[in-house]
Structure 1
Amino acid sequence: MNRPESLEKLKSEEFDICIIGAGASGAGCALDAVLRGYKVALIDKKDFAAETSSRSTKLIHGGVRYLEQAFKKLDFAQLKQVRHGLEERHIVLKNAPHLARPLALMTPVSSWIEGLYFKIGLQIYDAFATNDTLPKSKWLTKKEVLAKIPTLDSRKLHSGVLYYDGQLDDARYCLAIVQSTAEAGGTVANYMEVNGFGRDTLGKLNVVNATDTRSGAQCAIRAKLVINCTGPFADHIRLLANPLLSERLRPSKGVHVVLPAATLNSEYAMLIPKTSDGRVVFAIPFEGATMIGTTDTDYGDVSSEPTLNESEKKYLADTLNPYLAKPIKLEELKAGFGGLRPLLAADPVKSTKSLVRDHEVETDEKSGLISLLGGKWTTYRLMAKDTIDEADRFFSKNNSCTTDSCILAGGENFSSESWHQLATTYDLPEDISRHLTKKYGSRAGKVAALTVNDNSLKTRLLAELSYIQAEAIYTIRHEMAMTLRDFFARRIRLEITGWNETLKALPVVADLMARELEWSGDQKQREISEYRDLIMKFISDAKSV
């Protein structure tokens, strides 16, 4: 992943396929296409997974709520979505074992009738998961539940139903797909914003005009086929290709709050089945913190980043607090984040929470643009398969999809115990070795190796955390990190788990990035100021309605 080399290729070569949008769906399409033998370009106007794909609930799941709705409303579209999700779940877990793992989720219940209801429902959920090895659901006693999540209020607890789904580091998982695409021969570049298209004599797209937003340089990318994978922003690209198309998307905002790990004091996650608006909410351990979410509200202005506000904080706190022995206080908030779901809306009257998270592959006959619309993280690979099957039809080919068996970058020969060797070889503390192994998988040694000739790179970014300076250098050289936010938000995830910690570590990371990327003194100060202002805005927005 060398950005200057990629930019040169984008300018000088012709591609079979240019994919716009490098979130989960776009990266998935790029990997599938390059493995089928196509010459592929993958670009994004921001960083890889900068939008929806880094702001999920971090679950790999079929959707227990969708299953409930399917039976309550006899909605077979919901049932199909659950089946697809559970079919894909084991593949997502298998293909990047360093970034995805099984997660135990507890559903507290207040009576035996409620317990029976959830036990039956989750047994059906288990039955749909025919291809994986996750443990089956169990109905646990009150004592067993409290042993696993000791912060629950024992006075309101009757028992609990335990079940399993998967958890992933969404931004780094997407990055691993992008890395795998590049290593298989694809050309990938972030910070390339599309501003128009060139067309052949029949009006079909054959050039993607883009601007390198880091330098301002223009680039005309020649491609035989263009695929739009821009999630909640897909209508913008569709209308740029053909202004006569009608809008298809109904973006929905979902936010999460992040609280101290002591909130649950457990490795177990929690599903809250009763909320004031009929949704389910999750409380999940993630990166040494507790993440609670999500909400679901209409969001019309996709040009502005969705942020957390006071009323959303209060909703999530009010949803969790009835289950806790010691209610959380809003001032305990460590961080929060918002994201947009790319929901397809056939019915503009329906609430967003009732819309199915399924996907559709659309081909515009006038421009030739293929758009992948809708979907969710768990089914990204299936979404990509359907899209590249359509690309095969365009090229009159019938290639096989092999992404189900493609181990992603960092997953090759991965062992969760390899941190022992890392600690011994590079004289690193256990917590740092475990952290590097979890984040970079079988490539953790490449990060640690940077410290051999520069021992200062072993220095922690913050004394109380496991991140080290070598990671900033590695992510620039090998993961195309271009900005402070790329590093903090998506390479190490500190932005979404601790705003104050991010601000504290900002100066030292800025020094490292300035040196590596050859920023001038003015640019370094500008990068620091812009990112600090953004974090301060998040903090301010979280205190206002």
Structure 2
Amino acid sequence: MSELIRAPDGVQAWPASSLRPQQRSVAWDRLGAEQFDVVVIGGGVVGSGCALDAATRGLKVALVEARDFASGTSSRSSKMFHGGLRYLEQLEFGLVREALYERELSLTTLAPHLVKPLPFLYPLTRRWWERPYVAAGIFLYDRLGGARSVPPQKHLTRAGALRLCPGLKRSSLIGGIRYYDTVVDDARHTLTVARTAAYYGAVVRSSTQVVALLREGDRVTGVRVRDSEDGAVTEVHGHVVVNATGVWTDEIQALSKQRGRFHIRASKGVHIVVPRDRIVSDVAIILRTERSVMFVIPWGSHWIIGTTDTDWDFDLAHPAATKADIDYILTTVNGVLATPLTHADIDGVYAGLRPLLAGESDDTSKLSREHAVAVPAPGLVSIAGGKYTTYRVMAADAIDAAAEFIPARVAPSITAKVQLLGADGYFALVNQAEHVGAMHGLHPYRVRHLLDRYGSLLSEVLALAADRRELLSPITAAPAYLKVEALYAAAAEGALHVEDILARRMRISIEYPHRGLDCAREVAELVAPVLGWGPADVDREVATYIARVEAEILSQTQPDDASADALRASAPEARAEILEPVPLT
């Protein structure tokens, strides 16, 4: 269990769950000195969920992540915490039921500060048969898994649908159905899961890359890790190792020298981000395409539009969007918009990789989203597939399988009852937003915005500004965020680089046309004292971030994956000591 630690300056008592820079050396020493029950590889939502599940069962847990928490798939999704309406059409009833149960659990209990209800419009385009067909599917969707916290579907005429969404062409629909789903900031949610695991005693460390598996005979007994910041190496011993690395599953599997029980196929999903005023609508929109569906999702002062669904055979760490990907999204959404979008309207673009279980189909849009657990070698458990929403179930299944290799009795999973950090007291604080705002000189709107990012951890954030009121002013070129948020990212949220802050702790890299270039130096100078940076370090961080953004923008003008990947891969890594995986043979 977490305990309070007095910060060096004496200003604030930090909980041990805070991922402070000073904790990294302590965590490194513990990794090399202690015997763990479970060693989890991967700081995405599934790996973080595994660490939380194991820690709350009373096990001794280590979680290591090669880059940053949520730096892969878990920060590049469609930002939905949903059941997957389209999977009903594929007869994946069990998956949808499971996901909707998890949606309800997070929306009401586990993470109400992070998972929010969202109204959607389903435009109808076919007479007679489509309305009853879709209505039956949404009726089932509204009731599977015990979903009770969102309103039921509502049927709309064409005029009613256009009142909700005036931005649609009148000719693009004959009517509509409004239904509800949920939205989440995936990167912040993943980080919160990891921090909650630390709160319950897990040793959690980013920039810690697994480079080998330790073995005694045919038994896996731990991992050799390398610090991605300085190249130091140590060994971490555990009764069982859980491989929760998503699209990197096969690479870690190869280290075991054993044949895998399944393989992962990476499917690239691209999203664009446009200003909110470019589409006039009070609701999100779901559109059917020839291959799958496309979402138009409100995201603060923006819309997120996506996604694509294509094979990706290049760099897993930095999937690149191409001009063809962006053109496809624009063409699809412009088919229904009264005022078409252009490339000039786009403020941000991001690409992510879905870790799909290979073998079911040659069409990535039809590959199963079910997850699988396997034991490819004694002491090694692999968990893969699935979808973001079912991370908690995936984690419980993985630790259930891992229990076979742990000498002591392992208690059953209890994470259905464990709130994430920030959930406790959230609803009361929402009601007290005006009072909290008056205490700190903040507008209640700003307080509610902060509460939806930090929940009741807001007190920790604002405490950093107790004697520095200037930290409560906005970041100059990104006024949606306060300076204190950047400082908190470095002081308590494990951010080690400018990229970690601008791309994941905050979403400046996709929410502003400058993509973070105009505030990279301001943010770097804000966090420099916390991270121990001198002027040369600040210059290097800013230059590295600029190179990253410029490479991404240039890659998005390329016609195909190969040329886009070559340009994106040319940018330097923020983590200078990260090792490229050995190609699979």
Q: TM-score, normalised by structure 1?
A: 0.94
Indicate the residue corresponding to 1:334 in structure 2.
Answer: 347
2:77 partner amino acid? S
The residue that corresponds to 1:91 in the other structure is: 105
Matches within 5 A, 1:332-481: 332-347=345-360, 350-365=362-377, 367-395=378-406, 397-415=409-427, 416-462=430-476, 465-481=479-495
What is the match of residue 173 of structure 2?
Answer: 157
Stretch deviating more after TM superposition (376-385 or 90-99)? 90-99
2:31 is the counterpart of 1:31: no
Aligned 8 A contact 1:422 1:445 in 2: no
Aligned partner of residue 87 in structure 1, secondary structure: helix
Count of aligned residue pairs for this structure pair: 533
Asked if structure 1 preserves the Cα contact closer than 8 Å seen for 2:358 and 2:367, the reply is yes
Is residue 435–residue 467 contact of structure 1 (8 Å, CA) maintained in 2?
no
Name the structure 1 match of 2:81.
60
> Which deviates more from structure 2 when the two are superposed, residues 471-480 or residues 392-401?
392-401
Q: Does 1:272 align with 2:272?
A: no
Asked whether the 8 Å contact 2:124–2:175 carries over to 1, the reply is: yes
Q: Counterpart amino acid of 2:461?
A: V
Offset at 1:372?
Answer: 0.4
Using the TM superposition, give the Cα deviation of residue 90 of structure 1 relative to its aligned residue in structure 2, in angstroms.
0.7
Secondary structure of 1:387's partner?
A: helix
Whole-angstrom CA distance in 1 between matches of 2:374 and 2:315: 21
Look up the equivalent residue of 2:380 and give its one-letter code.
L
**Contact 1:232–1:302 under 8 Å retained in 2:** no
The residue correspondences of 1:265-304 to structure 2 (distance < 5 A) are 265-273=280-288, 275=289, 277-304=290-317
5 Å matches for 1:3-402?
Answer: 3-70=24-91, 78-94=92-108, 95-113=110-128, 114-200=130-216, 202-245=217-260, 248-273=263-288, 275=289, 277-347=290-360, 350-365=362-377, 367-395=378-406, 397-402=409-414
Q: CA deviation at 1:22?
A: 1.0
Q: Deviations over 1:262-285 (max 9, x none)?
A: 233334110002x2x321000001
Q: Secondary structure at the match of 2:398?
A: helix
Q: Does the residue aligned with 1:314 lie in a helix, a strand or coil?
A: helix
Amino acid at match of 2:165: I
One-letter code aligned to 1:372? I
- Cα 1:264–1:441 change in 2 (3 A) is same
With 530-539 and 224-233 compared, the bigger mean Cα shift is at: 530-539
Q: Aligned partners of 2:138, 2:200: CA distance in 1, in Å? A: 40
Q: Separation in 2 of the partners of 1:194 and 1:231?
A: 14
Q: What letter corresponds to residue 450 of structure 2 in structure 1?
A: L
Q: Residue 520 in 1 paired to residue 541 in 2?
A: no
**Residue aligned with 2:522, SS:** helix
Structure 1: give runs of 5+ residues left out of the alignment: 71-77
Quick one: distance in 1 between partners of 2:99 and 2:261? 29
- Per the TM alignment, residue 189 of structure 1 is displaced from its structure 2 partner at its CA by 0.3
Unaligned 5+ segments in structure 2 are: 1-18, 560-585
- The answer to whether the 8 A contact 1:266-1:285 is kept is no
Residue by residue, what CA displacement relative to the aligned partner does 1:160-199 show, whole Å, maximum 9, x if unpaired? 1111111111111111111111011110000001111222
Q: TM-score, normalised by structure 2?
A: 0.88
The offset of 1:439, in angstroms, is: 0.8
Tell me the equivalent position of 1:75. none
Q: Deviations over 1:365-402 (max 9, x none)?
A: 3x421000111101101101111111223326351211
Q: 1:505 aligns with which of 504, 516, 519?
A: 519
Equivalent residue letter for 2:351: G
Q: Is this contact kept in 2: 1:435–1:466, CA < 8 A?
A: no
The answer to whether the 8 Å contact 2:34/2:237 transfers is yes
Q: Deviations over 1:115-158 (max 9, x none)?
A: 33322221122232424322111211223222222211123332
1:50: how far off? 0.6
Q: Is the 2:356–2:385 contact (alpha carbons within 8 Å) kept by the matching residues of 1?
A: yes
The whole-number CA distance in structure 1 between the counterparts of 2:277 and 2:47 is 37
Q: Aligned equivalents of 1:384 and 1:255: distance in 2?
A: 26
Task: Give me the whole-angstrom Cα distance separating, in 2, the residues matched to 1:541 and 1:430.
Answer: 40
